[in-house]
A and B are shown apart, each in its own frame.
Chain A
Amino acid sequence: MDILSQYSMILLVLACVFGFFMAWGVGANDVANAMGTSVGSKAITVKQAILIAMVFEFLGAYLAGGEVTSTIRKGIIDPMIMADTPHYLVYGMLAALLSAGTWLAIASARGWPVSTTHSIVGAIVGFAAFGIGFDTVSWGKVGNIVMSWVVSPLLAGTISYMLFVSVQKLILQQDNPYERAKKYIPFYMFAVGFLISMVTFLKGLKHVFKDIGMSLSMGESMFYSAIVGGIVAVFGAYLLSRIKRDETREKNDRFYNVERVFAILMVFTACAMAFAHGSNDVANAVGPLAAIVNVISTGVVGAKSAMPSWILLLGGLGIVAGLATFGFKVMATIGKKITELTPSRGFAAELGAASTVVVASYFGLPISTTHTLVGAVLGVGLARGIGALNLNVIGGIFLSWLVTLPAGAIMAIAFFSLFKVIFGA
């Protein structure tokens, strides 16, 4: 207790700095993976991608990031075990942030396919299990999280497969794909609008509505989401109506104009992707921060206090800062390598991944957006949609799981011990 009051300011500042750094890293690097598909298919420019990411990552984090944040903050470990030593929880969460950040920096420099989510979860489990006690970890919950890492790419792959097959059947394999595309694409836009507003109404607005004493039932949420989806679809249909069919280009490439129509749809799915990413991955940075702030401000572990919104705000700002400084360059590089993906494929992959991630955010499961997107792209590939996919990547992902979890854990234990030495046990 003395330690906490003695060093409260410096610990709080450290937590904010580490948390912000982590969010910055997510913005600089991780977002590029999520948005690169849109840039690569030339549906949007890098500048537009950055703008979309800034707005929708922030909205996703702020409106729908609460559940995953709470999992990271108090779901993976049982904080009550540390009731007598609240400063251990602060050290541990600081160590987790620092080790995950360090590991990500090393991995990005080497080009390893490492996930932010896996590093932070590995780090938290590591410091709790070996720094404090094996029982501190809620192994059941951790088991669920690990399961979700396997399930999420499979689910995203299935959704994307079905989306793309529906596009083939309804549009691409028809005699008049251009007219068909204009007719059916607003329905996919509706799905995008419905999905995002549904999650926002059900989960995200909880802390916004609470202040003004309002809450929505499931039915009401669906109703309002349908309205938002309808507005999105009408707006999208208006954008589609402004496309002028280029007949000369169509002579060489029958699908030239069809892809232009899909490119408009991809602007919408890019927004969904950014929103989904924000809702899930920002928690990696702000979850530990929230736990630290909670302990320091109340002096005890597990005091029932709502997470202050400024923490989510800080995470959102960190991402925006990462995008503004480095994300620009990374996205341009990645986009240049994904030129084989056309909008009709890219949208299916993005929508499949985004809906999976958003559902995971709803259940408070921290998953890897990147790995989910890989699953989604493979789903489109299974529908014979993509020229060539490199299956080596899958092996790399499994390998990164095996390495990241222990690496994050070992570093977290080291930093944890270091903090004990610096600030006192």
Chain B
Amino acid sequence: MRSTVSDLFGKSPIKPLQQHMTAVIECSNELTNFVDAAIHDDWEKAEASYNTIRDLEHRADDMKRQFRLDLPSSLFLPVPRTDLLEMVTLQDKIANGARDIAGTMLGRQMQVPEAIREDFVNFVASSLHVAHQAHTAINELDELLESGFKGKEITIITEILDQLDSKEGLADDAERAIRRKLLAIEEEIPAIKAMFLYKIIDKIGDLSNRAQRVGSRMQLFMAR
């Protein structure tokens, strides 16, 4: 049974976009468990945790692919199709980043020196906070659509994005702090190991940058 009126309604991309972001966050949240296992040198547990991250990243990937398939150019959307496609790519990069961090650390069984351990855990946590804040912003998208992309909802999202920026600032502070401490002890560490520690710090910093980019994309949805 088909009808002209029901055929007219396509599947709204907003909810799938939010679900993808939720999957991305589930994936990157596992990083907390992974890092906890890694700094305690429990590589068995770390590997199990990495496998979880890998599976969740796969799931997010599948959702991303389905999202693109469900967005044919014949759809008439309240936001530009290209912005939506761009957004899902940006979101997916957060999950890719989390997997990359865990993969590199597991592959080399990287030891985090005692002196920077606490900062390392804090840095990962503050980077994840940025991702959570981006998730909060994405969760407002349905309300943004409901209110017609204007008015009170814009104020609410602007506030969320302001917090996103300040949380990204905190992650930057944490990155600077850990770099300073690592610099102080780098002579005591074999050069290659130190090099890879810098590299992993880069990647964790990237994670928060990617999350912040999701937020700046949100602004494009509102500005029209």
Contact = CB atoms under 8 A, between A and B. Distances in A.
Contacts of A174: 151-152
Interface in B127-155: 142-143, 145-153
B9 A338 contact: yes
Contact of B5 (A177, A255, A370): A370
Interface in B1-57: 1-15
Contacts of A396: 4, 7
Contacts of A172: 146-148, 151
Given A168-B150, A255-B143, A389 B8 contact: yes
B150 A173 contact: yes
Nearest to B73: A391
Given A174-B151, A174-B152, A388-B75, A377 B8 contact: yes
Most buried by B among A32, A254, A330: A254
B8 A374 contact: yes
A113 interface: yes
B10 A36 contact: no
A385 B5 contact: no
B3 A334 contact: yes
Given A172-B147, A381-B78, A384-B149, A390 B9 contact: yes
Interface residues on B, range: 20 to 34
A373 B6 CA distance: 11
B8 A385 contact: no
B77 interface: yes
B74 interface: yes
B76 interface: yes
Given A33-B3, A334-B3, A387 B13 contact: yes
A59 to B, nearest CB: 22
Most buried by A among B4, B6, B149: B4
Contact of A333 (B1, B11, B79, B148): B1
Contacts of A329: 1
Interface residues of A, number: 48
Contacts of B14: 387
Interface string B100-135: 000000000000000000000000000000000000
B147 A36 contact: no
Contacts of B1: 111, 329-330, 333-334
Contacts of B13: 387-388
B5 A168 contact: no
Contacts of B12: 340, 386-388
Interface in A337-358: 337-338, 340-342, 344
A113 B4 contact: yes
Contacts of B148: 164-165, 168, 172-173, 383-385
A385 B12 CA distance: 11
A374 B5 contact: yes
Nearest to A387: B12
Contacts of B151: 168, 172-174
B78 A337 contact: no
A334 B6 contact: yes
A144 interface: no
Nearest to B143: A254
A77 B79 CA distance: 48
Interface string A310-332: 00000000000000000001100
A45 B148 CA distance: 27
A306 to B, nearest CB: 36
B10 A387 contact: yes
Contacts of B79: 384
Contacts of A378: 8, 76
B147 A393 contact: no
A33 B6 CA distance: 8
A37 interface: yes
A383 B149 CA distance: 10
Contacts of A87: none
A33 B4 contact: yes
A172 B200 CA distance: 46
A76 B24 CA distance: 62
A172 B6 CA distance: 25
A164 B175 CA distance: 48
Nearest to A32: B3
A246 interface: no
A168 B146 CA distance: 9
Nearest to B153: A173
Contacts of B145: 384-385, 387
B5 A338 contact: yes
A117 to B, nearest CB: 13
A41 B9 CA distance: 12
Interface string A128-168: 00000000000000000000000000000000000011001
Contact of A389 (B10, B147, B149): B10
Contacts of A36: 3, 5-6
Contacts of A392: 7, 74
Contacts of B15: 387
Contacts of A341: 9
A390 B146 contact: no
A260 interface: no
Given A168-B150, A172-B146, A172-B147, A390 B5 contact: no
Give the 7 A-B residue pairs with the shortest CB-CB distance, closest first: A387-B12, A173-B151, A388-B10, A111-B2, A337-B6, A113-B4, A384-B78
Given A334-B6, A340-B10, 14 more contacts: A40-B9, A172-B148, A254-B143, A330-B1, A341-B9, A374-B5, A384-B145, A385-B148, A386-B12, A387-B15, A388-B10, A388-B12, A391-B74, A392-B74
19 contacts: A40-B9, A113-B4, A168-B150, A172-B147, A173-B152, A175-B152, A177-B152, A334-B3, A337-B6, A377-B5, A378-B76, A387-B12, A388-B12, A389-B8, A389-B77, A390-B8, A390-B10, A392-B7, A396-B4
